[in-house]
Amino acid sequence: MKRAEVKEKALALWENDRARLVFEQPFIGMLAMQLELQPVVDGALPTAATDGRTVFGNANFLCRLSDEDRLFVLAHEVWHCAALHHLRRQGRDTVRWNHAVDYEVNGLLAETGMTVPKGALYRRHWRGWSAESIYEVLPEDLTDEGRGRFRDRHTWRAPSLGRSDPDLCPRPDERIWKGWQQRVVGAWQQVQARGHGGRGIGRLPGVMGSLVRSLTRPQVPWQTVLRRYLVPRLDPGRRQWTTPNRRYLSRELYLPGPARERVDLAVAIDTSGSTQDYLPAFLAELRGIAGQWPDTRIRLIQADADIQSDEYVTAADLRPEMILKGGGGTDFRPVFEALKSDPPRVLVYFTDGFGQLPGRHEVEALDVVWVIWRDTITIKCRYGAVVTTGQPLSLWQ
């Protein structure tokens, strides 16, 4: 069979495998749909590999495998991306780490009910262990060949080293791997939403469950950030009869006590096309904000080039599977226009910072906390930095 024919056959088989994953394992199948499939005929790649954009597979190797083993190989590569193995290595020895992540991935797949092929790294008693824990108990004198006939490529050297098939063109990029954090959360939220519609969502193994939970936790100390702007606007001397002063109740004196804190907060989410990868993170941070005042109604505005939704929500309304509306261009002005008639004490605006800005005088009429998401998080109030997890960034630069 000619090279082009075997590659075409392998691609058809792998595309069928991916469709099967979507049906049988919706979470990992949804992630598989975000990767290109590229069979190659090249001795530099005897099995399979991924660079975070594309899954490469040796076409002859794939065509020789049984349907179950070939499905396993595809799921194995997708799990490497989903489990963020490239980001988690952090200077560990490459060969030991390659063994550890294969043990973790194959254990994850076994937990979902898939059969681990003979010759692949797998120990039943390590199921549920993280790659970091497995790494610590592995011997130091391992060789890459010890990973068996299913060993895949986890690292890439010089792009032209020993490659004869031009389709074997990996493009490793740190930004692509970082983007998988939001892909994982987004896929989990979509699968959860579909599951609430009556469709089974599949089993999420323990290690991945822990990873998803960590990625959906807010990263910003919102109580500290927002109280810095809310508290000065509260009247500490204000009293009200509905909150009696407890110091005098024992003397049978009913005197007014301090007024309860009233949180007047609006949150705007930029739902434009350029922020789609960030929306799961935006939701996680929004839940972090609402969790500080669970019973308080927060005005939530979803907007791209126009207002897509304007409603009041509480923490109970912000479900993980909530789907945001948008996908168009970006214009910040409609949000500020909508708030003119009933301005909040503080507006928190989640965005990537790209869009049509209102005039400074319109922004200065409100206390605005800009939460700017790109590769890192930068938080600014008006034009001065509040909390920064990356380099300071100005919308007006």
Do residues 279 and 384 share a domain?
A: yes
Do residues 170 and 281 share a domain?
A: no
Mean of pLDDT values over 343-358: 84
> Which residue did the predictor score with more confidence, 88 or 192?
88
Do residues 80 and 140 share a domain?
A: yes
Q: How many domains does the chain have?
A: 2
Do residues 35 and 146 share a domain?
A: yes
Do residues 183 and 230 share a domain?
A: no
Interior angle at CA 183, CA 78 and CA 113, nearest 5 = 40
Q: Does 252 map to a domain? A: no
pLDDT tens track for 251-291: 666 666 555 455 688 999 999 988 877 787 788 788 888 88
Q: Does 359 map to a domain? A: yes
Do residues 184 and 227 share a domain?
A: no
* Sequence-ordered alpha helix ranges (H) in the chain: 3-24, 26-32, 59-64, 67-82, 85-88, 94-111, 131-137, 174-196, 206-216, 222-230, 279-290, 333-339, 360-364
Cβ proximity of 21 and 32 under 8 Å? yes
Do residues 141 and 268 share a domain?
A: no
> Which residue did the predictor score with more confidence, 299 or 390?
299
The helix-helix angle for 174-196 and 67-82 (nearest 10°) equals 110
Do residues 173 and 45 share a domain?
A: yes
Q: Does 311 map to a domain? A: yes
Do residues 168 and 282 share a domain?
A: no
Q: Does 178 map to a domain? A: yes
Do residues 18 and 144 share a domain?
A: yes
> Which residue did the predictor score with more confidence, 269 or 369?
269
**Closest-CA residue to 222 (of 162, 278, 166, 263):** 263
Percent of the chain whose pLDDT exceeds 70? 73
Q: Does 159 map to a domain? A: no
Range of the domain at 309: 222-234+260-388
pLDDT at residue 37 tops 70: yes
Whether the pTM exceeds 0.75: the reply is no
Q: Does 9 map to a domain? A: yes
Q: Does 142 map to a domain? A: yes
Q: Does 380 map to a domain? A: yes
Do residues 197 and 230 share a domain?
A: no
CATH number of the domain residue 359 falls in: 3.40.50.410
Do residues 184 and 290 share a domain?
A: no
Q: What is the pLDDT of residue 101?
A: 92
